Amino acid sequence: MNHVLIAHNSRLVNDSLRNALDRRPDVCVAGCAVTVEELNFLLPHADVALIGTELGQTNIFYLLRDIHLTHPQVKVIVVGVQNEPQTILRYIEAGAAGYILADESLDEMVQKVQATTEGRALVSPTIAALMIERAAYLAHHSTTNIFPALKQEKVNDLTSREREVLDLISEGYTNQAIADELVIECGTVKNHVHNILKKLDSDNRHEAVALYQATQHIPNALAYA
């Protein structure tokens, strides 16, 4: 029995998907969520999560990444996706196990849920080709285990001041030296460093600098941020 969680901004959509899945003898709907808080509460009880492209004000790519990190046993399928290959690839890079296009039928959705629970992914030839291209690029250029699109997404959240601090860290400046250079308090520098590590999901300053610098060399055709 596969336990499926449904998360979408619309309760109407949630109810429609639930009705479709309730007819399957091998599926048990673990619950429906319209907020991230409800989603997080239900995740431990699910094998598969059907999540809409929007859920509250949360960035869907960060949400996918967080689920992948905190609940790796849950396979996420993004629901209601537009047929835009680069965007679909971003979902997959962020941790999605599959996707359901906005114009696909409920029967096709059920087929994809079943395929996902069996460890298979139903993707178009275009998406498969893009995944192969991205894998080849990463094999030659990636310096960390975070995909280029997600790297860029994280770096885009940095403020101009945080970028200045990162530039100085990369040059070997200490916190006090950075404070002197930018004419701010050392405690303020420490706060900036803390925020940088949190935004870039890095364990230390050196890892943050490596991720930041890596995004400066990703070709535009591959970054698509």
Q: How confident is the model at residue 217 (pLDDT cuts 50, 70, 90)?
A: very low
> Tens digit of pLDDT for each residue in 95-115?
898 899 988 888 888 888 888
- Range from 26-40, 147-161, 173-187 carrying the lowest mean pLDDT: 147-161
Write out the two tokens for 107: 């029967």
- pLDDT at 47 (0 to 100): 92
> Tens digit of pLDDT for each residue in 21-54?
888 888 889 999 999 999 999 999 999 999 999 8
- Residues whose CB falls within 8 Å of the CB of residue 207, separated by 6 or more in sequence, listed in order: 144, 200
> Is residue 162 within 8 Å of 196, Cβ to Cβ?
yes
Predicted structure pTM score: 0.60
DSSP letter at 120 equals -
> Is residue 215 within 8 Å of 148, Cβ to Cβ?
yes
State mean pLDDT over 55-65. Answer: 84
Distances (CA, A) of 165 to 146, 147, 154, 181, 218: 22, 24, 16, 10, 21
Q: How confident is the model at residue 148 (pLDDT cuts 50, 70, 90)?
A: low
State mean pLDDT over 10-23. Answer: 90
Q: Which domains does the chain have, with CATH numbers?
A: 2-132 (3.40.50.2300), 144-223 (1.10.10.10)
Q: Can you tell me whether residue 26 is helix, strand or coil? A: coil
- pLDDT at 140 (0 to 100): 56
Q: What's the chain's Rg over C-alpha atoms?
A: 20
